[in-house]
Chain A
Amino acid sequence: MDRNKIFKNAKTSKMNYKRSIFIIFIFLFQISIAFAQEEIKKIKLKIGKHDEFYRLVFIFDNSDILQSTSAMLLKENKIKVSLTEDVQIEYKDKVLSDNEKIDGLGIKKIDKNFIFEISSLSDIKVYKLHFPPRLVIDAYTNQMIKDEKILSSKFSVLIDPGHGGKDKGLTYNDISEKDVVLFISKEISSKLAQKGIKNILTRISDEEVSLKKRIQIVNNQNPSIFLSIHISQENLFRIYNVQNSNTQMNTKLVSHFREKILNNFTEPLAIEEIPIYLINKINSTALLIEIPQKALLNEKKYLNKIIDVLYLSLLEIGKANEKFTKNK
């Protein structure tokens, strides 16, 4: 009897032991499921509205997801971003729902894919970049392409790098104003050319060009905009406007540059109305701009910033110019 009892007790305790192990397994399984559910990967999204396109940037945690992600242009102004895993999009520290609208862009989540809807979408360019792993989509719209075409047909710019030859302009150590402004002018010229905008320089090398010759070039070419670039003796931007200028285009020209400069630089800006012979004697819409003395340090990052700001200002002026001409 005792023997049977002992045997029974042993059996029961073994069963209890198995049961508890089973329960622990189930418990662990459920916890792992719960964790797995919480562990849906997130990708960060950044949206930038540029002059020519929308830029969508998806930032991933690792390169594997990036490699398996693809983007394609669909009909009806849509872009499909396909992923192999289920992910959530985080935009400005907020996880997006399955149907969102941001800055005029519609974003829908269907299974593991995302559909982006952009009005008048015409083309996309897709880049996969590393460090950090990211997918970049540049989405071009019809309106933007149309604007570009209008600009390329009528809008023209004449850029005047100041000084040259014996006239070095301001100098700092071995760096001369004539070289810095020539570099900036050439870069702007190349960027404008890439956009199909006709542009000319008053000098393309280290040569001496008199002010009279410069005026002659401008009046022969009759560009939409004439921009003379110099360096200031102080650490500030200076815009010399045409004296007694009340024309709508000149006012717009100054305001475009003013806005761009103030938004992108900490240096102050002064707008002068002294009679600068060069810009007062030409027939085109014109201004002379002096960039801060800091440019003489020849720091590439700073110069590139100046190039971008001047280039984008000219581009915007071009668009404003076309609208103005149309309305006229």
Chain B
Amino acid sequence: MKNLQKINKKIIFILIFFIILTSTVLGYFFFFKQEPKKLTTNQEEQSIEIFKLILPLNNSLITKEIYLKKEDGELKKLEKVLENFFNELPQPMKETKIHSLFRDKENKIYLNLSSNFATPMDAKNEFYLIKSLYSTIKTNFNWITDVTILISNEEKETLSGHIPIESLRESMEANR
């Protein structure tokens, strides 16, 4: 009788051992094997960033979302966003090139653009163009404290003779 009890106990132990082993193996496959897949998706999500372009259209501004690959530096991000912004504008502003882009200690940005951006236009179009550029920068890059726009290395009062570039910068600051 005692021998029989011993054998039953052994069998029960062996069974419990197998159950634990099986569940461990299953658990391993269930949790650990799927994790690399999840990680890959997250990595893909993390490598794309969404930005908003504020663009001039007739008598108003419109918003357009763009998806860009994540860049390491904030200035690179800004450059990419601005390139896309210019690309959405009509000719000849569409051909605007960023000659250089600086950031000082106080997070002030110096944006040196090609002369295509300062093309002759009437007051209304000039107003919406400057406003859209400032709004695009402000909406996407909160850390920027101020923006100075240069046209071919020169600080200009206006883009085309009606609206001082500074005047809209002031209004943006007031809206903050």
Contacts and interface: CB of A to CB of B under 8 A. Distances in A.
Interface of A: 162-163, 167-171, 177, 210-212, 230-234, 238, 240, 272, 274-278, 288, 290
Nearest to A167: B161
A163 B160 CA distance: 8
Contacts of B162: 162, 230, 276, 278, 288
A223 to B, nearest CB: 20
Contacts of A170: 120-122
B85 interface: no
Nearest to A171: B120
A276 B163 contact: yes
A57 B171 CA distance: 57
Interface in B115-172: 120-125, 127, 157-158, 160-164, 167, 171
B157 A290 contact: no
A299 to B, nearest CB: 20
B123 A288 contact: yes
B124 to A, nearest CB: 6
Nearest to A178: B161
A169 B125 CA distance: 13
Given A168-B120, A169-B120, A274-B127, A162 B161 contact: yes
Contact of B122 (A171, A212, A230): A230
Interface of B: 120-125, 127, 157-158, 160-164, 167, 171
Contacts of A163: 161
B161 A277 contact: no
A211 B157 contact: yes
A238 B157 contact: no
Contact of A169 (B127, B160, B167, B171): B160
B124 A238 contact: yes
B95 to A, nearest CB: 18
B157 A177 contact: no
Contacts of A210: 157
A230 B123 contact: yes
A288 B171 CA distance: 20
A290 B121 CA distance: 12
Task: List the 4 closest pairs (A to B, CB-CB), nearest first.
Answer: A277-B167, A233-B122, A167-B161, A163-B161
24 contacts: A163-B161, A167-B158, A167-B161, A168-B120, A169-B161, A170-B121, A212-B157, A212-B164, A230-B123, A231-B122, A233-B121, A233-B125, A238-B123, A272-B123, A272-B124, A274-B123, A274-B124, A274-B127, A275-B127, A276-B123, A277-B167, A288-B123, A288-B162, A290-B123
Contacts of A272: 123-124
Nearest to A213: B157
Contact of B127 (A162, A167, A231, A276): A276
Nearest to A210: B157
A278 B49 CA distance: 40
Nearest to A280: B167
Contact of A232 (B122, B157, B164, B171): B122
A194 to B, nearest CB: 30
Contacts of A232: 122
Contacts of B122: 170, 230-234, 238, 290
Contacts of A277: 163-164, 167
Nearest to A233: B122
A184 to B, nearest CB: 16
Contacts of A169: 120, 160-161
B118 to A, nearest CB: 10
A278 B124 CA distance: 13
A276 B157 CA distance: 14
Nearest to B131: A274
A178 to B, nearest CB: 9
A15 to B, nearest CB: 96
A170 B124 CA distance: 13
Contacts of B157: 210-212
Contacts of B160: 167, 169
A100 B125 CA distance: 56
B120 A211 contact: no
B24 to A, nearest CB: 71
Nearest to B170: A277
Nearest to B156: A167
Nearest to A281: B167
A211 B121 contact: no
Contacts of B127: 274-276
A319 B163 CA distance: 31
A136 B84 CA distance: 66
